[in-house]
Amino acid sequence: MNLPSREGRVVRASTPPRHGGETEEREVLWMLSRRGSPSVRADLVAFTDAIELETFTDGTFRRRWRFLRDTTARQYADRLKRRLLSRGFVDRRGDKRTTAWPT
């Protein structure tokens, strides 16, 4: 008897056109640096249909991940940040910063 597989599979959503009329909101989640290495920055980009996590190294685009939910994107960004911190990177903006700027 063949039971259905419990393994998940990745479904890659097509990326929307970048120069269309779609609006986006961008937030810098964190910036990490390490002596002798280029700095790493993670941006969260919100579209109407998805959330994207983009990483940059010294201002140069490196990679993009696409998520359906904001919380999933933030959880993945936290895992990525913890991995980089364990490799000697330091948060450039400090750990006592607030998540929102005062108005």
On the question of pLDDT at 69 being above 60, the answer is yes
37-46 sheet: strands from edge to edge: 60-67, 51-57, 37-46, 25-34, 90-91
46-59 per-position pLDDT tens digit:
988 899 999 999 98
Q: Residue ranges per domain, the chain?
A: 25-88
Q: How confident is the model at residue 29 (pLDDT cuts 50, 70, 90)?
A: very high
Average pLDDT taken over every residue of the chain:
80
Q: 32 versus 94: which is more confidently predicted?
A: 32
Angle 65-39-10 from CA coordinates, rounded to 5°: 15
What is the distance, to the nearest Å, from the Cα of residue 8 to the centroid of all Cα atoms in its chain? 22
For the entire predicted model, the pTM comes to 0.69
Residue 73: both structure tokens together: 């994107």
DSSP 96: T
Task: Answer with the residue of higher pLDDT: 11 or 52.
Answer: 52
